[in-house]
Amino acid sequence: MFDTKICEIFNIEYPIFQGGMAWIADHNLASAVSEAGGLGIIAAGNAPTEWVREQILKTKEKTNKPFGVNIMLLSPYAEEIAHLVCELGVKVVTTGAGNPGKYMEMWKEEGIKVVPVVASVALAKRMERAGADAIVAEGCEAGGHIGELTTMSLIPQVVDAVNIPVIAAGGIGDGRGLAAAMMLGAEGIQVGTRFLVADECSVCDAYKEKVINAKDIDTVATGRFTGHPVRVLKNKLSRQMMLLEKQGVTIEEFEEAGRGALRKAVVEGDIAMGSVMAGQIAGLIKKTQSCKEIIEEIFDEASKVVEGIR
Ligand code: TUI
């Protein structure tokens, strides 16, 4: 039932991508998701090129299945990593937080499958024209850097605007979310927050616990005025950032106050003064499970939901 074009294009068993969560999605998570039949994705985030190289090589040691690399286009290393994926023969590249247009020709020449993450119809259309193989359309329920539109509004509009397959992201954490995404015309899903609490995810336990304990209203989007809003779980840092916003600080002052904060939460485990990025679906996530259990549960549940409405 869920054997869509996405499975064929990317040579995967289930049409599910694991979100490229900066500092979080390393070789451990990516290889576990790929081994379980989805598409595991290493997040380059703001990390140096050599760190990304190491993650790619380790993933190749752990799985023969396809995996991808997510390039965060605001990173100072984006250009270097754009070349690194060619050098190391990575098969799938996803991008975030920008327009990857200038790299498209190079990636296509290398035979790389390119899947830009977009938050608008306009960018989806441009990416199709530039040769994208599929699009991840991400609603603002997602964690981290977000656009303006919700998943419910964005997906059908992108589906109508392009002829390439669309993967829905933002607010999808279980089989009901998968079924709903398919109803909107998507042919696959990208899941971040639920994989964040997976057994194989190396984010510190305090971060996982904060996601598991989160309620529906516990995330907030900060920094809209900078043009790069991010969704995080509320904590001391998010309250300080909201206050700075209210006080009318400059974009530079605001960004300085948040610099290094994601790494602080993920690596150092400082969930009070770190940036605990997570999506609105965090309130639904109640336990840690293996990536295999997560994927199988999502697909079993979606099958039952769809059966029920037939
Ligand atoms: O990229 C993401 N999510 C992210 S990246 C990230 S790391 C980071 N850390 C601190 C500050 C900023 C980022 C954490 N989470 N999702 C994909 C995504 N891309 N969502 C929205 C967009 C997007 C937004 C505007 C893509 C393109 C765009 O406009 C580009 C253009 O030129 O039209």
**Backbone φ and ψ of 235, nearest 5°:** -160, -170
Does the Cβ of 180 fall within 6 Å of ligand 1?
no
The amino acid present at 176, given as its one-letter code, is R
C-alpha 304 – ligand 1 centre gap (Å): 34
Residue 70 CA: nearest ligand 1 atom is 1
Backbone angles phi, psi at 149, to 5 degrees: -90, 150
Mean pLDDT score, 240-257 = 94
pTM equals 0.96
Query: Is residue 182 within 8 Å of 309, Cβ to Cβ?
Result: no
228 CB within 6 A, ligand 1:
yes
Task: Judge contact between 134 and 109, C-beta under 8 A.
Answer: no
Distance between CA 117 and CA 149 in Å, rounded? 13
What pLDDT does residue 26 have? 98
What is the H or E stretch that residue 72 is in?
strand 67-72
- pLDDT, position 60: 98
- Decide: 138 in ligand 1 pocket, CB within 6 A: yes
Out of 46, 71, 129, 145, give the residue to mutate to test ligand 1, the one with the largest number of ligand atoms within 8 Å of its CB: 145
The pLDDT confidence band at residue 310, using thresholds 50, 70 and 90, is: confident
Confidence class for position 30, pLDDT limits 50, 70, 90: very high
- Residue-wise pLDDT for 59-71, tens only, equals 999 999 999 999 9
- Gap from CA of 146 to ligand 1 centroid (Å): 6
72 C-beta closer than 6 A to ligand 1:
yes
Answer whether 144 contacts ligand 1 (Cβ < 6 A): yes
Amino acid identity at 231: R
Instruction: Give the DSSP H or E segment for 181.
Output: helix 175-183
pLDDT over 90 for what percent of the chain?
A: 97
Q: Supply the pLDDT for residue 2.
A: 87
Q: Name beta bridge partners: 138.
A: 169
CA of 183 to the centre of ligand 1 (A): 26
Residue 258 beta carbon below 6 angstroms from any ligand 1 atom? no
Task: Report the distance separating Cα 85 and Cα 43, nearest Å.
Answer: 12
Q: What are 147's two structure tokens? A: 């656009």
Q: pLDDT by residue (tens digit) across 79-110?
A: 999 999 999 999 999 999 999 999 999 999 99
- Tens digit of each residue's pLDDT (9 = 90 or more) over 124-167: 999 999 999 999 999 999 999 999 999 999 999 999 999 999 99
Ligand 1 contact, 139 CB (< 6 A): no
Closest by CA position to 180, among listed 150, 202, 206: 150
Exposure pattern of 129-167 as b/e (b: 16+ CB <10 Å)? ebebbbbbbbbbbbbbbbbebebeebbbebbebbebbbb
Check residue 1 and give its pLDDT: 74
pLDDT in tens, 180-229: 999 999 999 999 999 999 999 999 999 999 999 999 999 999 999 999 99
C-alpha 300 – ligand 1 centre gap (Å): 31
**pLDDT for residue 309:** 82
Res 169: pLDDT: 98
119 touches ligand 1 (CB under 6 Å) = yes
The reported pLDDT for the residue numbered 107 is 98
Give me the chain's average pLDDT, please: 97
**Alpha carbon nearest to ligand 1 atom 13, residue:** 145
Q: How confident is the model at residue 175 (pLDDT cuts 50, 70, 90)?
A: very high
Q: Which of 223, 234, 224, 235 is nearest to 280 (CA)?
A: 234
